[in-house]
Structures are given as structure tokens and as C-alpha cells.
């Protein structure tokens, strides 16, 4: 039985969090077409945006 979790991925010029599906052997089988919030231009931007969302929430 496969599992889902989250992974930071760079697609195009954005870094964002995607839901990723792993098969029984642990290899990535697929991921969602759209990212979930937050996203940023690079890892530092993503981290800062995530921190702001945590503090505000």
C-alpha cells in the first residue's frame, strides 16, 4: 500500500510544497499538479513565508 506525504519541490521558478505519492517500494509515483500554500522564489523565501503563516495563524 502506497503512502502520501509532503515534499518541497522546485518547478519552474517557484519553490513550493507538493503532496507526493510513494509506491510500496518507497519510490515517488506521482505528485499533485498544484502546490499547497506557502510557496516562494527560493528556499529562504519559502521558509520566511511559512514562518509568517505560522505566526499569523
pLDDT 10s digits, 2-42: 999 999 999 999 899 999 999 999 999 999 999 988 889 99
The pLDDT of residue 52: 78
Greatest pairwise CA separation for the chain in angstroms: 39
Q: How confident is the model at residue 53 (pLDDT cuts 50, 70, 90)?
A: low
Q: Other C-beta atoms within 10 Å of 32: how many?
A: 13
Helix (H, G, I), strand (E, B) or coil at 35: coil
> What is the C-alpha to C-alpha distance for residues 52 and 50, in angstroms, rounded to an integer?
5
Q: Is the pLDDT of residue 56 over 60?
A: no
> Higher-confidence residue: 28 or 1?
28
> What is the C-alpha to C-alpha distance for residues 22 and 15, in angstroms, rounded to an integer?
20
- Spans of all domains in the chain: 3-56
Phi/psi of residue 49, nearest 5 degrees: -65, -40
Amino acid at each position: 500500500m502506497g503512502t502520501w506525504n509532503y515534499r518541497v519541490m522546485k518547478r519552474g521558478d517557484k519553490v513550493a510544497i507538493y503532496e507526493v505519492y510513494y509506491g510500496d517500494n518507497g519510490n515517488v509515483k506521482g505528485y499533485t499538479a498544484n502546490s499547497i500554500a506557502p510557496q516562494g522564489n527560493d528556499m529562504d523565501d519559502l521558509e520566511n513565508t511559512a514562518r509568517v503563516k505560522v505566526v499569523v495563524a
